[in-house]
Amino acid sequence: MTEEELLEKGYRKYTGEEIDVYFNTHVCQHSGNCVRGNGEIFNLERKPWILPDNASKDEVKRVIDTCPSGALHYIEKEGVSK
């Protein structure tokens, strides 16, 4: 999905240096895979609760890929590498 499609469907964007994370609270089934997967990226006790730069791009993708509901998506930024 493109950023425009995600935003139109009600996803909120959390911007990172190498990867952007998108979350839709209305799709979320609250399985907790994200917060259990990596509390440095996903932490409900802070605002914003998603910080994509708190881990590697590959770690962000790994955790998001465990989301069973599709409430989380990511878009990698092209031409950015560390």
- Asked, for residue 82, whether it belongs to a domain, the answer is no
- Nearby residues of 46 by Cβ (< 8 Å), 6 or more positions away: none
Report the CATH number at residue 8: 3.30.70.20
- Asked, for residue 49, whether it belongs to a domain, the answer is yes
- Asked, for residue 59, whether it belongs to a domain, the answer is yes
List pLDDT tens digits, range 15-72: 999 999 999 999 999 999 999 999 999 999 999 999 999 999 999 999 999 999 999 9
**What domain range is 34 assigned to?**
3-76
- Asked, for residue 40, whether it belongs to a domain, the answer is yes
Residues 57 and 30: their CA atoms lie apart, in Å, by: 23
Residue 39: half-sphere exposure toward Cβ, Cα within 13 Å: 2
Report how far apart, in Å, the C-alpha atoms of 19 and of each of 45, 57, 73 are.
Answer: 22, 6, 10
| Res. 79 pLDDT band, cuts 50 70 90 | low
Q: How many domains does the chain have?
A: 1
